[in-house]
Amino acid sequence: MSSNYDVIVIGAGPAGYVGAIRCAQLGLRVGVIDEFVRKDGEPSLGGTCLNVGCIPSKALLDSSDEYLKAEHELASHGIKVGSVELDVPQMIKRKDKVVQDLTGGIKQLFKANKIEWLQGHGKLLADRKVEFTPHKGKAQTLDAEHVILATGSTPIDIGAAPVDQEQVLNSDGALELTEVPKRMGVIGAGVIGLEMGSVWNRLGSKVVLLEAQDTFLAAVDSQIAKEARKQFEAQGMEIRLGCRVKDSRKGKTVSIHYEDTDGKQNLQVDKLVVSVGRRPHTDNLTHDDVDLLTDERGYVHVNDYCETNIPGVYAVGDVVRGPMLAHKGSEEGMMVAERIVGQPGEVNYETIPWVIYTDPEIAWVGKTEASLKSAGTPYRTGTFGFAATGRARAMDKPVGMVKIMAHAETDRILGVHIVGPQASELIGEAVLAMEYAASAEDLARTIHAHPTLSEAVHEAALAVDGRAIHKAN
């Protein structure tokens, strides 16, 4: 191990490991310190996203979707599969294998790029020195020209429901259940709560989500959120809004006390998932004599280029402002690497796509209708339902819509919102269009293959000008 680096990255999640690889591509000598240890005791690269976040949640969403298909959907295609049996431990094993393959892939990429993986804790000292404490062994001081902090985030705990990972779980625990609980409560109907709730609802749990806000998915365009809620409730998930959880008691079951507009309420469940958001992870990150500026919510303070208040020290990903999304962190990591070598890297924060991987999926980029209204921006809207596309019908997924908003005078696309099949893939076209400052007319004049789901995007763009073909405008 060397003690001198051009760049030391603390944290090997999608922000840190991507930044590290880009630094190495640009000829810099890079060391990455990461302290993550998985359940079998092995250190593992990839941070929250690969180990306990994006990837394992999608693996279980995909498995539970296959189960649902086998149980309820294949018969209508003329495929009889007999009685369907669920093997949850195998589902978890497959999820673990997906994670191991991907995290192993990053290890190979580090090798190929000659990046040193330092397994243990990193702490920022003065003068761009870093204290590295290996999992086994003594602390040592490393020197770097540049330090990138990419320490990510951890789940927020609430006093009313302390997590024990037995009966009261956070997302880590919700990804490890080996039996389907009869009844599951979820505190927080946000992205993670809805994804975890969907997995266990599909596998047979009676899922009730308790959300503090009065509005369902307040950050999502309200028309899209309304349609999504209808679908989730049709699937059996119960969504209760305006709930203030006061207390939870553990016995044979978990008894949750909460208040809503009707007064005091109680809910009995077998497992309770707490998914009320995540907080930036800065525990034991800086030495006492390092004056790293954080904001009032604990995020490391950075400018548009992810520079902290300390020259040569950068911060990227969930530990800084902006959406807590893997791809946002990765872009920041690449930007910082490029700026370190004097290239003009930047991140366009206006075109970061969001996705919720439920069924139907929800995806969006840009402004919501409510934000355009409150800003007084003149706009035109085009919507198109998947039910009118041949492909969604052939797939038996005629649910949801595409909604496009464009500036009323310039026609520039301001926001694209999708709820429906494969929204996560369809949003890519919208992001590209907005990145290139496209007009709705540009999308309307772009040829879309038939029959595809993307025809709904095409028709929504035509609908902005009142000329969708397969719809009465």
245 binds, among ligand AMP, ligand FAD, none (CB under 5 to 8 A by kind): ligand AMP
Q: Which stretch binds ligand FAD (CB under 6 A): 45-53, 207-215, 304-312, 427-435?
A: 45-53
Collapse the DSSP code of 392 into the 3-class scheme (helix H, G, I; strand E, B; otherwise coil) and give the result. helix
187 binds, among ligand FAD, ligand AMP, none (CB under 5 to 8 A by kind): ligand AMP
Q: Which phi and psi (to 5°) does residue 358 adopt?
A: -90, -170
Angle (nearest 5°) at CA 344 between 340 and 348: 110
**How many chain residues bind ligand FAD (CB under 6 A)?**
35
- Residue from 189, 404, 426, 431 touching ligand AMP (CB under 6 A): that is 189
Q: Which phi and psi (to 5°) does residue 462 adopt?
A: -65, -35
Q: Which of residues 252-281 bind ligand FAD (CB under 6 A)?
A: 281
450 is catalytic: yes
317 binds, among ligand AMP, ligand FAD, none (CB under 5 to 8 A by kind): ligand FAD
- Residue 192 or 334: which CB sits closer to ligand AMP? 192
- Residue from 59, 192, 254, 316 touching ligand AMP (CB under 6 A): that is 192
Tell whether residue 53 is a contact of ligand FAD (CB under 6 A): yes
- Residue from 5, 24, 36, 458 touching ligand FAD (CB under 6 A): that is 36
Q: Which stretch binds ligand FAD (CB under 6 A): 13-21, 136-144, 213-221, 392-400?
A: 13-21
- Residue from 208, 245, 267, 336 touching ligand AMP (CB under 6 A): that is 245
Q: What is the side-by-side strand order in the sheet with 401-407?
A: 354-356, 361-366, 413-420, 401-407, 379-385
Tell whether residue 415 is a contact of ligand AMP (CB under 6 A): no
Tell whether residue 242 is a contact of ligand AMP (CB under 6 A): no
Tell whether residue 47 is a contact of ligand FAD (CB under 6 A): yes
Q: How far apart are CB 7 and ligand AMP at their closest, in Å?
A: 31
Residue 159 to residues 167, 247, 466, Cα–Cα distance (Å):
15, 8, 52
Pairing state between β 354-356 and 278-280: unpaired
- Residue 199 or 461: which CB sits closer to ligand FAD? 199
Catalytic residue among 121, 450, 458, 470: 450
Start-to-end C-alpha separation, the chain: 67
Tell whether residue 326 is a contact of ligand FAD (CB under 6 A): yes
Q: Which of residues 270-289 bind ligand AMP (CB under 6 A)?
A: 275-277
Tell whether residue 336 is a contact of ligand FAD (CB under 6 A): no
Q: Which stretch binds ligand AMP (CB under 6 A): 46-54, 85-93, 115-123, 182-190?
A: 182-190
- Residue from 9, 13, 190, 286 touching ligand FAD (CB under 6 A): that is 13
The structure tokens listed for 29 are 């000598």
- Please state, in angstroms and rounded to a whole number, the distance separating the CA atoms of residues 115 and 138: 22
189 binds, among ligand FAD, ligand AMP, none (CB under 5 to 8 A by kind): ligand AMP
Residue 39 CB contacts under 8 Å (≥ 6 apart), including other chains: 176
- Residue 48 or 286: which CB sits closer to ligand AMP? 48
How would DSSP label each residue in 404-456? Answer: EEEETTT-BEEEEEEEETTHHHHHHHHHHHHHTT-BHHHHHTS---SS-TTHH
Pairing state between β 271-274 and 183-187: parallel
- Residue 275 or 383: which CB sits closer to ligand FAD? 275
Q: How many CB atoms lie within 10 A of CB 125?
A: 17
Query: Do 186 and 208 touch, CB atoms closer than 8 A?
Result: yes
Q: How far apart are CB 1 and ligand FAD at their closest, in Å?
A: 15
Q: Which of residues 153-182 bind ligand FAD (CB under 6 A)?
A: 153, 171
Q: How far apart are CB 278 and ligand FAD at their closest, in Å?
A: 7
Q: Which of residues 338-367 bind ligand FAD (CB under 6 A)?
A: 357
Residue 321 to residues 44, 463, 466, Cα–Cα distance (Å):
26, 35, 39
User: Which residue's structure tokens are 């890519």?
Assistant: 428
Tell whether residue 213 is a contact of ligand AMP (CB under 6 A): yes
Residue 33 CB contacts under 8 Å (≥ 6 apart), including other chains: 8, 9, 10, 11, 118, 120, 121, 122, 130, 132
35 binds, among ligand FAD, ligand AMP, none (CB under 5 to 8 A by kind): ligand FAD
Tell whether residue 191 is a contact of ligand AMP (CB under 6 A): yes
Helix (H) or strand (E) holding 89: helix 88-112
Q: How many CB atoms lie within 10 A of CB 107?
A: 16
Query: Do 5 and 31 touch, CB atoms closer than 8 A?
Result: yes
Pairing state between β 244-250 and 271-274: unpaired
User: Which residue's structure tokens are 């086994």?
Assistant: 136
- Residue from 47, 190, 329, 400 touching ligand AMP (CB under 6 A): that is 190
- Residue 248 or 422: which CB sits closer to ligand AMP? 248
Short-list 193, 210, 195, CA closest to 65: 195
Residue 101 CB contacts under 8 Å (≥ 6 apart), including other chains: none
Residues that bind ligand FAD in the complex, under the rule CB under 6 A: 10-16, 33-36, 47-49, 53-54, 57, 121-122, 150-153, 171, 192, 281, 285, 317-318, 324-327, 329, 357
What residues act catalytically? 450
Residues that bind ligand AMP in the complex, under the rule CB under 6 A: 158, 187-192, 210-213, 243, 245, 275-277
